[in-house]
Amino acid sequence: MERFRSLARYPVRVAWTNGSLCHPASTSDYCVYMLPTFNHGKGISLVTTPSVIYSLSIKPFADRWFNSPDLAIPPDLLGVNPIKGKGLGVVAANRTIRKNTRVMVDAPALMIDHGALAELGPERLSDLVHESARMLPYPAREGFFGLSGAEGQLPKSKDSALAIVRKNAFRTKIEDVEFHTVFLDVSRVNHACNPNAAYHFDPLVMRKSLVTVRDIHPGEELTIGYVDLTQTSKTRQSSLSHWNFTCSCHRCTQPSHLQQESDARTAQLINIRNELDEYRRRLPDGPAMAELLITLYELEGLEARVHEAYYRAAVEFNGVRDRWKAIKFGRLCLERGLLLKDETRSFVMQMRSLVEDPEGHWSWGFRLDRTKIM
Ligand SMILES: C[S@@+](CC[C@H](N)C(=O)[O-])C[C@H]1O[C@@H](n2cnc3c(N)ncnc32)[C@H](O)[C@@H]1O
């Protein structure tokens, strides 16, 4: 209550419609809120607490939520087709999509506060989820109830709404609040452990964008990673368990000797990354280890995250005062990183300052010089 009162002096920038339906939970009420003008009138509904909706309504960046572009599924690039063993999926239409192309920009239609899923029993939860879907403006409402997950349920019933959320929602965060978010178009994109696209949700504009990380040929499926892909196969499978499917991607279904090699490479990747992230040691081998890290990301088909390896390579080469290689890897990190993340991310700011002035960056010579070791 105190926190709520102290916020009351800020101007409201976004007027959410009042909670039309609320259910009490142990820490707060959870209610349904609606913003019909969001995303060019497509609308959004939220299930959350009154204090979260108040703090969202005063965010200075909320003005940007309304008219940011929404690329949906561009028909000249992509189509939605049945994919064996996966239901529907998104495929490249009749031309090759080059790597580093932004192929989708999608706005959320429905967001459920993680607290509601954790605290409310199934009856109250499905009541709120159903009401939030029912309140969406017409085309978005039809789009939501047309998503997969409710097969065998009564169409548009309470149970069907919750089943659709369980099958399609991605975890997203707005500052420290976690939501389960349904995007009507991105929800058609299937998972792979070596995906050919990467995604990023930007709460400043409330959009999720997908960028290709390899060339995608006509008819080839577009895939993203639903979970942390830098894990061995068993751990990935258990992270995927709440999605309720057994992963049938290439990295999970190789013959067992290749699977073992892939797991060994992934374990080595995790070890090297941990060693490089230990800044308190002298590490003259850092550059060679970072180059091996890049190779391991590539061999495992993890181009979606290879900027993480470029970052470490830039720091390691700078750490042994190899200026030109540090700049090279810093630029590679920025090239991919900036397609996915915004300028305010700390890794982006770090790479910008390293590329502009390697000698002035904190990492200059830090692997060689004891006085610099933090
Ligand atoms: C966000 S939806 C993706 C679109 C969905 N295939 C459809 O028909 O609308 C997530 C669901 O798709 C299926 N799916 C996604 N990736 C898969 C994969 N690699 N292997 C098998 N099923 C997958 C699972 O049923 C999962 O719960």
> Is any atom of ligand 1 closer than 6 Å to the C-beta of 251?
no
104 and 182 housed in the same domain: yes
> Has residue 73 been placed in a domain?
yes
> Has residue 137 been placed in a domain?
yes
> Is any atom of ligand 1 closer than 6 Å to the C-beta of 243?
yes
Count of domains for the chain = 2
Please report, for the domain that includes residue 207, its CATH number: 2.170.270.10
* Protein residue whose Cα sits closest to atom 21 of ligand 1: 86
175 and 58 housed in the same domain: yes
> Has residue 242 been placed in a domain?
no
- Got the DSSP string for 50-112? HHHHHHHHT-GGGGGGTTS------TTTEEEEEETTTEEEEEE-SSPBPTT-EEEEE-EEEEE
214 and 282 housed in the same domain: no
Using most ligand atoms within 8 A of CB, pick from 160, 191, 196, 227 the residue to mutate for ligand 1. 191
- As a whole number of angstroms, the distance between CA 1 and CA 22 comes to 18
> Is any atom of ligand 1 closer than 6 Å to the C-beta of 249?
yes
40 and 145 housed in the same domain: yes
> Has residue 273 been placed in a domain?
yes
ipTM above 0.95, yes or no: yes
Atom nearest to 192 CA in ligand 1: 19
pLDDT tens, position by position, 103-161? 999 999 999 999 999 999 999 999 999 999 999 998 999 999 999 998 888 888 888 99
24 and 168 housed in the same domain: yes
> Has residue 90 been placed in a domain?
yes
Domain boundary among 167, 200, 224: 224
> Has residue 229 been placed in a domain?
no
51 and 156 housed in the same domain: yes
Q: List Cβ neighbours of 23 (8 Å cut-off, separation of 6 or more).
A: 29, 30, 31, 120, 124, 127, 128
Write out the residue range of the structural domain in which residue 313 sits: 256-372
200 and 274 housed in the same domain: no
17 and 89 housed in the same domain: yes
321 and 201 housed in the same domain: no
**pTM (two decimals):** 0.90
Please state, in angstroms and as integers, the Cα–Cα distance from residue 159 to each residue in 33, 132, 150, following that order.
Answer: 20, 13, 8
> Is any atom of ligand 1 closer than 6 Å to the C-beta of 168?
yes
> Is any atom of ligand 1 closer than 6 Å to the C-beta of 203?
no
> Has residue 237 been placed in a domain?
no
Using most ligand atoms within 8 A of CB, pick from 80, 88, 148 the residue to mutate for ligand 1. 148
Q: How far is the CA of 186 from the centre of ligand 1 (A)?
A: 11
pLDDT tens, position by position, 319-370? 999 999 999 999 999 998 888 877 778 899 999 999 999 999 999 999 987 6
161 and 282 housed in the same domain: no
Q: How far is the CA of 362 from the centre of ligand 1 (A)?
A: 44
**φ and ψ of 289, to 5 deg:** -65, -40
Q: Amino acid identity of 13?
A: R
Q: How far is the CA of 81 from the centre of ligand 1 (A)?
A: 12
pLDDT for 2: 41
Does residue 5 carry a pLDDT above 50?
Answer: no
200 and 269 housed in the same domain: no
262 and 196 housed in the same domain: no
Domain boundary among 224, 246, 279: 224
